[in-house]
Amino acid sequence: MADAEDRTYRPDALIARDIDAYLERHRDKGLLRFITCGSVDDGKSTLIGRLLYDSRAVFEDQLGQLESDSARVGTQGQDLDFALLVDGLSAEREQGITIDVAYRFFANEKRKFIVADTPGHEQYTRNMVTGASTADAAVLLVDARKGVLVQTRRHAFLAQLLGIRHVILAVNKMDLVDYDRATFEAIRDDFAAFAKDFGFEGLTAIPISGFRGDNVVERSAATDWYQGPSLVEALEAVPLAGEDAQARPFRMTVQWVNRPNQDFRGFAGLVSDGTVRPGDAVRVLPSGAQATIEAIHTFDGPLEQAVAGQSVTLTLAEEVDCSRGDVISAADDPPQVADQFEASVVWMDQTAMKPGRGYWLKIGTRTVTATLAAPKYEIDVNNPAGSGSRLAAKTLELNGIGVLELRTDRPIAFEPYADSKALGGFILIDKERDATVACGMLNFALRRAQNVHWQPTDIAREHHAALKNQTPRVLWFTGLSGSGKSTIANAVEKKLALMNRHTFLLDGDNVRHGLNKDLGFTEADRIENIRRIGEVAKLMADAGLIVLTAFISPFRAERKMVRDMLPEGEFVEIFVDTPLEVAEERDVKGLYRKAREGKLKNFTGIDSPYEPPEQPEIRVNTVDMSVDEAADHIIAQILPLK
- Binding-site entries: 38-45, 117-121, 172-175, 479-486
Candidates 294-302, 336-344, 477-485, 604-612: pick the segment binding ligand ADP (CB under 6 A): 477-485
DSSP readout, 568-627? TT-EEEEEE---HHHHHHH-TTSHHHHHHTTSS-S-BTTTB-----SS-SEEE-TTTS-H
How far apart are CB 504 and ligand PPS at their closest, in Å?
Answer: 17
Query: Measured over all CA atoms, what is the biggest interatomic distance in the chain, rounded to whole angstroms?
Result: 99
The partner in contact with residue 194, picked from ligand ADP, ligand PPS, none with C-beta cut-offs of 5 to 8 angstroms by kind, is none
Binding residue for ligand ADP (CB under 6 A) from 274, 375, 472, 479? 479
Query: Does 486 contact ligand ADP by CB under 6 A?
Result: yes
Cβ proximity of 253 and 241 under 8 Å: no
**3-class secondary structure, 432:** coil
Is 70 noted as a catalytic residue in this protein?
no
The partner in contact with residue 210, picked from ligand ADP, ligand PPS, none with C-beta cut-offs of 5 to 8 angstroms by kind, is none
Pairing mode of beta strands 137-143, 30-37: parallel
Candidates 104-112, 122-130, 239-247, 552-560: pick the segment binding ligand PPS (CB under 6 A): 552-560
Query: Does 610 contact ligand PPS by CB under 6 A?
Result: no
The partner in contact with residue 335, picked from ligand ADP, ligand PPS, none with C-beta cut-offs of 5 to 8 angstroms by kind, is none
Query: Does 286 contact ligand ADP by CB under 6 A?
Result: no
Query: Does 461 contact ligand PPS by CB under 6 A?
Result: no
Question: In whole angstroms, what is the distance from residue 429 CA to residue 362 CA?
Answer: 8
Query: Does 510 contact ligand ADP by CB under 6 A?
Result: no
Beta bridge partners of 378: 391, 402
274, amino acid identity = G
Q: What is the dihedral of CA 233, 236, 239, 243, to 10 degrees?
A: -160
Query: Does 554 contact ligand PPS by CB under 6 A?
Result: yes
Half-sphere exposure of 457 (CA within 13 A, CB side): 8
C-beta neighbour count of 138 within 10 angstroms: 28
How far apart are CB 39 and ligand PPS at their closest, in Å?
Answer: 43
How far apart are CB 535 and ligand ADP at their closest, in Å?
Answer: 21
What is the number of helices (H) and of strands (E) in the chain?
A: 20, 27
C-beta neighbour count of 474 within 10 angstroms: 24
Question: In whole angstroms, what is the distance from residue 153 CA to residue 194 CA?
Answer: 8
Q: Whose CA is closest to 345, among 275, 286, 400, 415?
A: 400
Number of residues engaging ligand PPS in binding (CB under 6 A): 21
458, amino acid identity = D
Of the chain, the end-to-end C-alpha distance in Å amounts to: 85
Binding residue for ligand PPS (CB under 6 A) from 313, 408, 486, 622? 486
Site string for ligand PPS, 487-516 (x = CB under 6 A): ---------------------xx--x----
Candidates 24-32, 115-123, 548-556, 631-639: pick the segment binding ligand PPS (CB under 6 A): 548-556
Query: Does 586 contact ligand ADP by CB under 6 A?
Result: yes
C-beta neighbour count of 251 within 10 angstroms: 29
Show the 3-state SS of 513-565: HCCCCCCCCCHHHHHHHHHHHHHHHHHHHHCCCEEEEECCCCCHHHHHHHHHH
Question: In whole angstroms, what is the distance from residue 189 CA to residue 196 CA?
Answer: 10
Q: Residue 145 or residue 513: which is nearer to ligand ADP going by CB?
A: 513
State the binding site for GTP.
38-45, 117-121, 172-175
Number of residues engaging ligand ADP in binding (CB under 6 A): 17
Query: Does 522 contact ligand PPS by CB under 6 A?
Result: no
Q: Residue 313 or residue 604: which is nearer to ligand PPS going by CB?
A: 604
Binding residue for ligand PPS (CB under 6 A) from 378, 604, 613, 634? 604
Cβ proximity of 83 and 46 under 8 Å: yes
How big is the chain by its Cα radius of gyration, in Å? Answer: 31
Query: Does 526 contact ligand PPS by CB under 6 A?
Result: yes
- Tell me whether residue 106 is exposed, middle or buried, using C-beta atoms within 10 angstroms of its C-beta: 0 to 12, 13 to 18, 19 or more: buried
Question: In whole angstroms, what is the distance from residue 523 CA to residue 283 CA?
Answer: 43
Residues 616-635 within binding reach of ligand ADP (CB under 6 A): 622, 625-627, 630
Binding residue for ligand PPS (CB under 6 A) from 589, 593, 609, 626? 589
Q: Residue 311 or residue 626: which is nearer to ligand ADP going by CB?
A: 626
Catalytic member of 55, 329, 553, 626: 553
Query: Does 543 contact ligand ADP by CB under 6 A?
Result: no
DSSP state, 396?
A: -
Residues near ligand PPS (CB under 6 A) are 481-482, 486, 508-509, 512, 521, 526, 529-530, 551-554, 589, 591, 600, 602-604, 608
Binding interface with ligand ADP (CB under 6 A): 479, 481-488, 550, 586, 588, 622, 625-627, 630
Residues annotated as catalytic are 553
